[in-house]
């Protein structure tokens, strides 16, 4: 537990957990307007509440994975953390602002019983879901591709350098994959009309999500991958195709498992393609940050290891228990009438 390689693997695991769990959170926020349409204002509001309630008990717990990943990155790889957050300041700030907007919109949506207020909150949920879904793909694609890191471990490239074709494809891939992941999750967690519409939406999203994911995985492998990472490409694409087939057959649980494996495989592919670097330099390979020159001392890593052994099982157990408690499917019939709509 005191080796930089162990902590690199742990960072990978934390981001796998974050993108799998927050991935369907983002997807639900993005598709809520699509699934929240009804013949009357009352039905529309109830459908939107059903969609939002699928993530209601878990979305804030899912965000803990990002906080933990950032904390581990800061403690285990301070050079990586400092260089990354200074050079990617604007996109990471936009992600943070979007996440704050989404948090406020979800928490305060039901505090004022007014249709205009709820529409504004729904807009905040949408923006707070779309922006991170796209920018996370752009950011991680640039990390794998490499940026202009100089001999002082500073990123000297500008914002426009981050908007290259590979990164833009990465952003489109994460957005489409999270949309599909979210639609499958809503289908898994609901019944009735909302379930039917979510399953139909998942079917429409299957082709663009598969095309973008396949193209991005293949580009990553050919340009930055290693000989042994081809199997990760195969796992990710095969799992996504299995999810498409399962969703078409109405096997919601298997479809969700497929999208989960796809996202996990894609994240592992990115980190595996990156290793042993953590932030490649496009100016000079000798200036790249690696797991060795960017890590903390052995003593720091050892202390962090013991803390992880003690705390991690408790956190994982609590989150698993939360998902078990709120495992039941939801429908419009479970949503009480709003006071404002009853007037």
236, 16 Cβ separation under 8 angstroms:
no
pLDDT of residue 341: 43
Distances in whole angstroms, Cα of residue 83 to Cα of each of 208, 261, 313: 34, 31, 31
Question: Which stretches in the chain have pLDDT values below 50?
Answer: 339-343
**What tens digit of pLDDT does each residue of 10-62 get?**
999 999 999 999 999 999 999 999 988 878 888 888 999 999 999 989 988 89
pLDDT of residue 85: 87
Instruction: Please count the other Cβ atoms lying within 10 Å of the Cβ belonging to residue 94.
Output: 14
pLDDT of residue 159: 78
C-alpha–C-alpha distance, residues 113 and 233, integer Å: 48
Distances in whole angstroms, Cα of residue 80 to Cα of each of 20, 73, 77, 86: 23, 7, 5, 10
259, 180 Cβ separation under 8 angstroms:
yes
pLDDT of residue 1: 61
Residue that is written with structure tokens 């695991």 in the block:
13
Nearest CA to 236 out of 268, 262, 210, 207 is that of 262
pLDDT of residue 338: 62
263, 181 Cβ separation under 8 angstroms:
yes
pLDDT of residue 307: 82
3-state secondary structure of 281: strand
pLDDT of residue 180: 97
pLDDT of residue 339: 46
Q: Would the CA dihedral through 155, 127, 17, 216 be positive or negative?
A: negative
């Amino acid at each position: 537990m005191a080796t930089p390689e162990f902590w690199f693997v742990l960072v990978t695991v934390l981001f796998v957990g974050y993108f799998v769990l927050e991935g369907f959170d983002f997807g639900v926020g993005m598709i809520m307007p699509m699934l929240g349409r009804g013949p009357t204002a009352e039905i529309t509001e109830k459908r939107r509440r059903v969609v939002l309630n699928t993530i209601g008990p878990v979305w804030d717990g899912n965000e803990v994975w990002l906080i933990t990943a950032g904390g581990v990155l800061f403690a285990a790889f301070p050079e990586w953390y400092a260089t990354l957050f200074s050079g990617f300041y604007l996109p990471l700030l936009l992600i943070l602002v979007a996440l704050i907007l989404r948090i406020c919109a979800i928490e305060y949506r039901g505090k004022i019983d007014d249709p205009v207020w709820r529409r504004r909150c729904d807009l905040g949920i949408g923006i707070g879901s779309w922006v991170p879904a796209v920018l996370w793909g752009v950011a991680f694609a640039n990390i794998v591709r490499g940026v202009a890191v100089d001999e002082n471990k500073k990123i000297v490239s500008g914002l426009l350098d981050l908007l290259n074709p590979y990164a833009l494809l990465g952003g489109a891939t994460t957005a489409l994959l999270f949309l599909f992941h979210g639609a499958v999750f809503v289908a898994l967690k609901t019944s009735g009309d909302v379930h039917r519409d979510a399953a139909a939406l998942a079917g429409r999203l299957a082709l663009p999500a598969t095309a973008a994911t396949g193209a991005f995985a293949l580009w990553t492998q050919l340009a930055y991958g290693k000989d042994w990472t081809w199997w990760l490409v195969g796992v990710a694409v095969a799992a996504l195709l299995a999810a498409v087939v399962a969703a078409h057959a109405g096997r919601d649980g298997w479809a969700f498992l497929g999208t989960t494996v796809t996202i996990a495989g894609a994240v592992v592919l990115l980190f595996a393609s990156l290793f042993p670097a953590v932030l490649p330099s496009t100016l000079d390979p000798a200036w790249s940050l690696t797991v060795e020159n960017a890590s903390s001392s052995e003593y720091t890593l050892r202390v962090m290891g013991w803390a992880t052994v003690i705390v991690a099982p408790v956190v994982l157990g609590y989150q698993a228990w939360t998902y078990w408690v709120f495992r039941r499917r939801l429908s419009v019939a479970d949503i009480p009438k709003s006071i404002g709509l009853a007037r």
